[in-house]
Amino acid sequence: MKKGMIAIMVFGAILLNGCKKDNVEKEFTLEMKINGVRWVAAKNVAGLYNTSTNGINITGQTGDELVSVSRDNVTGNGTYVIPSGNMNALVLKGGSVLPYTASSSKVKSHGSVTVLSQSSSAISYIKNIEADFSGVLYDSFGTDSVVITEGKLRYQ
């Protein structure tokens, strides 16, 4: 439960930070396939790396569907593969929150995030990132899963 609350708080901070505008107009683009269906974020797109907690969060929204993918134990650019660390996905759809996780404790789960680049933000310990990601993540009961493939976050 504690991890869930932390994820929701991080998610809120990302949304607030994602709404800030710089003098130089740069935008994130986010796309992926969710269970084989192409999904492209239309708004509230952000990708952040918190160097003080070593966690990243990627988020975006289209219509009433919001997707957030987070990964812990990140130390900079590179590929981070389960079973080390945890990868979480929150899908908010039609008012329902659907949490999924890939970790060593969920045997059938797997996932990876590749941090391609980092750039500074208005907060010294927060970096904007570009990343690729994919995974098979399971709910807390291990019965329902979400398959994310071809995930791409770019900062342009």
pLDDT score recorded for residue 34: 93
Instruction: Give the pLDDT confidence score for residue 96 in this predicted structure.
Output: 85
Query: Rounded distance, CA 133 to CA 83, Å?
Result: 15
Strands 96-102 and 65-71 come out as unpaired
User: Domain map of the chain by residue range?
Assistant: 2-18+26-155
pLDDT at 24: 55
Structure confidence at residue 30 (pLDDT): 96
pTM of the model: 0.81
Mean pLDDT computed over 32-52: 95
Extract long-range pairs of 108-111: CB within 8 Å, 24+ residues apart.
108/136, 108/138, 108/142, 108/145, 109/82, 109/135, 109/136, 109/137, 109/138, 109/145, 110/81, 110/82, 110/135, 110/136, 111/81, 111/82, 111/87, 111/135, 111/136, 111/137, 111/148
Average pLDDT score over the chain: 85
